Amino acid sequence: MLQNLRSLTARTALDNVVVVLLAQGQRRRQAEAIARESLAAVGLESFADRKVEQLSGGQLQRVCVARAIASRPKVILADEPTGQLDRKTSLTVLEAFLTATVEYDVALLIATHDLEIASMCDSIVQL
């Protein structure tokens, strides 16, 4: 994930997650189901049909997290994924990431200044 959040601004939060799944060859109905599940994992189920240009920076950040999780990659590189989020939402996002590591066999590398977030990871490398 990039610190500069990339999105399809004229499209909905759901569309921004679905697009990566369609690019992977998923059928629309299946892509939407996975996208809705991923948006729910980061607490955005009620924002699925809202255009991303109407979202706050923290909400857009969570759309990008949902997109990363939905794509089921082998590795997620997350650069300050909770940087614009309050404590409760940060924990929701981290839980979504950690669930993805188990359920989808995703390796997760997080760059963060948040020591509480870092302490929840399997290992910490300080630079």
Report the CATH number that the domain containing residue 52 is assigned in CATH: 3.40.50.300
What span, in angstroms and rounded, lies between the C-alpha atoms of 126 and 113? 10
What pLDDT does 3 receive?
44
| Any domain includes 113 | yes
What span, in angstroms and rounded, lies between the C-alpha atoms of 20 and 14? 11
The pTM for the full model equals 0.89
| Any domain includes 6 | no
Task: Tell me how many domains the chain contains.
Answer: 1
Q: What is the pLDDT of residues 89-122, one digit of tens each?
A: 999 999 999 999 999 999 999 999 988 889 988 8
Q: What is the pLDDT of residues 63-77, one digit of tens each?
A: 999 999 999 999 999
Q: Which one, of 3, 90, 16, lies nearest residue 53 by Cα?
A: 16
| Any domain includes 81 | yes
| Any domain includes 49 | yes
| Any domain includes 124 | no
CA torsion sign for 1, 76, 120, 97 is positive
Q: What is the separation of C-alpha 107 from the centre of its chain, rounded to a whole number of angstroms?
A: 14
| Any domain includes 28 | yes
| Any domain includes 83 | yes
Give the torsion through C-alpha atoms of 53, 55, 104, 124, to 10 deg: 110
| Any domain includes 79 | yes
